[in-house]
Amino acid sequence: MSALPAPAGTEVQMPATARLRLAPQHVPVAATIMLFVAMATFGSITYDGFFSPQVFLNLLIDNAFLCIVAVGMTFVILAGGIDLSVGSVIALTTMISASLVEQHGWPPIVVIPLVLTLGAGFGATMGLLIQRFRLQPFIVTLAGMFLARGLCYLISIDSISITHEFYAAAGQWRLPVWGEEASLSLSALLALAVVAIAAFVAHGTQFGRTVYAIGGNEHSAMLMGLPVARTTVQVYLLSGLCSALAGVVFTFYMQSGYGLHAMGLELDAIAAVVIGGTLLSGGVGYVLGTLFGVLILGMIQTLIMFDGSLSSWWTRIVIGALLFVFCLLQRLFETGRRTAA
């Protein structure tokens, strides 16, 4: 017997469980945030002094460059691609900056826009090769990784220290938070600004909607008349720009340029994006989730440091285990989504 329709003007009350149920695309990022809260709670209960503003702000201060790189990587993975060159681009940025500032006397106000432009151009070139010749992103960006790392050693095989007062001041500057109890660095503020801008671009612009559409189904996006080719190039341009900006921040942090800087950072960026809830198959994910993914990586390091009895290599072990878990969850999520469709 079919139910009678509700009278006109009568509000239909949904069950509480239906109202509280998360949309499927929100499940991965919700799991990431819950994991971060659980780890923070564990640390606060287990270790004295863990629950303090500066400890949590240090998660962002120490990983600001990783956060910026991971934001660019988020857009690449959302579009169904990958970028293995980001760590090498950071190293190349530090080398070019150190060489021009220290050995050639260029002012930072000229050097910083120059390296940002070079990073964006490097990424756009890889994107053009991927789009124009239908090459695999893995191979193209792997070649870009070797190329950028090799260019570092053409500049110098040794570390180049940066003594310019601008870089020293930028690295030491702090913004007080909650009075004098805690502070944020310039690098952390830049990372937060990048996250905010990226979140708006991803969800409030045509470019962001096209990125999601390409990651969901590139062929369908083309049939819809979306600018797939242009957006693909722009995604890698954005990743290159974020990598160069992360290189500038890394220069503030290290006060030097070196060809071995940021070795393996591309893997940390991918790990942060995946742990942040972005699907490797593309089309599902949030910039906010990536921020929490970076914070979780920092939280793992902080917990191990507070423990004091564990080797730093446990950081890699825990990250590897988390990646396995999140990859399995992604697989289950995709299976459930296909079944629902």
User: d(Cα 191, Cα 64) in Å, to the nearest integer?
Assistant: 5
DSSP 8-state code for residue 299: H
Q: In the predicted model, what is the mean pLDDT of residues 213-223?
A: 95
The pLDDT-based confidence of 207 (bands split at 50, 70, 90) is very high
User: d(Cα 174, Cα 185) in Å, to the nearest integer?
Assistant: 5
User: d(Cα 320, Cα 184) in Å, to the nearest integer?
Assistant: 29
Q: How do the domains of the chain map onto residue ranges?
A: 25-42+49-331
Strand partners, 161: 256
User: d(Cα 19, Cα 279) in Å, to the nearest integer?
Assistant: 25
CA triple 218-242-327, angle to 5 deg: 55
User: d(Cα 320, Cα 29) in Å, to the nearest integer?
Assistant: 19
The mean predicted confidence, pLDDT, of the chain is 91
pLDDT digit string (tens) for 92-127?
A: 999 999 999 999 999 999 999 999 999 999 999 999
Task: Kindly state the helix (H) or strand (E) to which residue 234 belongs, with its residue range.
Answer: helix 228-254
The pLDDT-based confidence of 13 (bands split at 50, 70, 90) is low
Domain 25-42+49-331 class?
mainly alpha
Asked whether the predicted pLDDT for residue 11 surpasses 50, the reply is no
Q: How close are the terminal C-alpha atoms of the chain, in Å? A: 28
Strand partners, 256: 161
